[in-house]
Chains A and B, each alone.
Chain A
Amino acid sequence: MTQASPAAGTTNGTGTVFTPDQLQYVDELKKGRFDLQWLKDPKPNWGIRAQMRNPNRGLTLQDINNAYAGEPEDAPKDRTMAPRGSVYDEDVPDMGYQYNQKYQVWADNVVALYEEACARQWSATRDIPWDELKPLPDELERAQCQIATLLTEVEMIASDFPAKWLWQMNQHFHEVKMFLCTQAMDEARHLEVFRKRALANGGGLMRCLAGTEVFLRTILHAPTYIQGSFLMHVLGEGLVLDIFRGGEFLAKNKTEKEIYRLCMQDEARHVSYGTMHLKYFLEHHPERDKALAEMHMLAEAAELGIPGFLTNPYIIEPLAVLMGNGVKGMDKGMEAIRLVWVRMREEYLNRCALAGFDRRSVTKVPEQAPF
């Protein structure tokens, strides 16, 4: 080895920060000799020209997947961040991924959902007509703030949950990880928009309940991704989707209407992924009967928690006040809550059925609200 780089430090005990290989390469560079091995590497994907199926939309993930390496393997042998279909060194380190089987994370609609999510992003700062907020009677403002507090509390679970599992998913299934990143962003925005609503109209943040936190903890600490995904995407977000859908009963002005509508679109994508992931999981699990039995056990326990959520006075009463336009109209509001109950149950059972997970005859969620 000859000259050390002028930038070299003294940290590795040899008077330089560079390894012998690096120093040799630097030496060659100084003599004007380049390595150029990267120009001689195999080029298994050379000459690919992904075509836009639809120029109006742009170059989509589906387009590039149609062109090259678009179909993930069921069980990729490596645990690397190297892009699917690339050439990589044999000694790449093992990233320690725990989810290396396609059925553990995949959904057949996930590629389209990622593109859809990117196309339908919005800003809680810019796209909500905050100047349309008007002072509300105290009971309506309190009710709106109680619900906004609840939603500020629960929405971020759908950012924390995917964040917990993302790094454990093999990067071979990058589309799933990308979609979950959009979900994390969606939910950050939902936290943002409901916190802003609580603090923007003369009210404030209100009460959070231990029972809600217990359910959130169950999701966050679910021992496997499929268990947490079912609890969150299918059950929890399905329920919240119906609350968002009922937002036009809850909204007292254009500001709130827009909040609920935009959140509804986001939430529906997450539920859609969760439903199709459950379907893929059950259809491709190597021990399907065992997996099905485990999921039924989980669903049974989780369903027992739903009535508690929907008979909690801090949840249903502010909803009823908003839907009935005041405490005096709560009876009318409770009618709407009963409607939401039936719809939530029906849509949940429909989604399970679509996933090949028939809960209709065994579900623990009562058919009608008990009030």
Chain B
Amino acid sequence: MPKFPSLDWFQAISQKANKDKERFKLLGYVDANVGIKIRGNGAGSKGYLLQFADYGVTDVKEVDDPAPVSDFVIEGSLDAWSEMIENIQRNGEPDLEHTLNRLTMAGVPLKLIAGDQMQEDLFYRFNQSFQAFFNEAASVPTEFVAS
């Protein structure tokens, strides 16, 4: 059972998404490098780069700082990320309070950080695909690292 957060966990989600290709095709292709930053509640932070291309994620990397290699970064505390994943797993998809869009809307508990507005707008343009990616967590048994 992969731990969240870890490279293994993001790879497991990516594999799920890649098997679900028909669903992602219906949503449309995606061209975006998405950074994920998870602050460890005082225990340092973890960074990941998700390379979205076509109808899934072609590569996942663990990186110290995702900002320089991403179109945008979604940043938040481990608690916030874990709550989102747990919510998806509990409901099969996020409830109205736990979608990526909802959680980033006010800059808390998740924050969207981009180099410029066009890069930030990619989050809006491909939003359904990013959400569908994280929704794959519903069927990936996960061990949550204590915060």
Whether a CB of chain A sits under 8 angstroms from the CB of B127 is yes
Whether a CB of chain B sits under 8 angstroms from the CB of A271 is yes
Known contacts: A120-B27, A245-B124. The answer to whether A354 contacts B54 by CB under 8 A is no
Which residues of chain B have C-beta atoms less than 8 A from A268's C-beta?
121, 124-125
Chain A 308-336 per-residue mask, 1 if CB under 8 angstroms from chain B, else 0: 00000000000000000000000000001
**How far does the alpha carbon of A246 sit from the alpha carbon of B131 in the complex, in Å?**
16
Which residues of chain A have C-beta atoms less than 8 A from B28's C-beta?
116, 119-120
A56 and B54 form a contact (CB under 8 A) = yes
Query: Which segment of B6-14, B35-43, B100-108, B134-142 sits at the interface?
Result: B100-108
Contact of B125 among A246, A269, A354 (CB under 8 A): A269
**How far does the alpha carbon of A245 sit from the alpha carbon of B103 in the complex, in Å?**
11
Tell me the interface secondary structure of chain B in the complex: helix
- What residues of chain A have their CB less than 8 Å away from a CB belonging to chain B? 54, 56-57, 112, 116, 119-120, 241, 245-249, 251, 257, 261-262, 264-265, 267-269, 271-272, 275-276, 336, 339, 347, 350-351, 353-354
B96 and A248 form a contact (CB under 8 A) = yes
Which residues of chain B have C-beta atoms less than 8 A from A56's C-beta?
54-55
B29 and A116 form a contact (CB under 8 A) = yes
Q: CB within 8 Å of A: which of B86-128?
A: 96, 99, 101-102, 105-106, 116-118, 120-121, 124-128
Chain B 41-85 per-residue mask, 1 if CB under 8 angstroms from chain A, else 0: 000000000000011000000000000000000000000000000
Contact of A347 among B96, B99, B117, B131 (CB under 8 A): B117
A248 and B105 form a contact (CB under 8 A) = yes
Contact of A265 among B102, B116, B128 (CB under 8 A): B128
Number of interface residues of B (CB under 8 A): 23
Contact of A272 among B101, B105, B121 (CB under 8 A): B121
Known contacts: A261-B127, A265-B128, A354-B118. The answer to whether A57 contacts B29 by CB under 8 A is yes
Known contacts: A119-B28, A265-B125. The answer to whether A248 contacts B54 by CB under 8 A is no
A262 and B128 form a contact (CB under 8 A) = yes
**How far does the alpha carbon of A316 sit from the alpha carbon of B112 in the complex, in Å?**
25
Known contacts: A248-B96, A248-B99, A249-B105. The answer to whether A261 contacts B128 by CB under 8 A is yes
**How far does the alpha carbon of A71 sit from the alpha carbon of B134 in the complex, in Å?**
39
Known: A265-B126, A267-B124, A271-B121. 18 other contacts (CB 8 A): A57-B29, A116-B28, A245-B101, A245-B124, A249-B102, A261-B128, A264-B101, A264-B127, A265-B124, A265-B125, A265-B127, A269-B125, A275-B117, A336-B106, A339-B106, A347-B117, A347-B120, A354-B118
B118 and A272 form a contact (CB under 8 A) = yes
Which residues of chain A have C-beta atoms less than 8 A from B121's C-beta?
268, 271-272
Say how far B111's CB is from chain A's closest CB, in angstroms: 12
Contact of A246 among B27, B105, B116 (CB under 8 A): B105
B101 and A261 form a contact (CB under 8 A) = yes
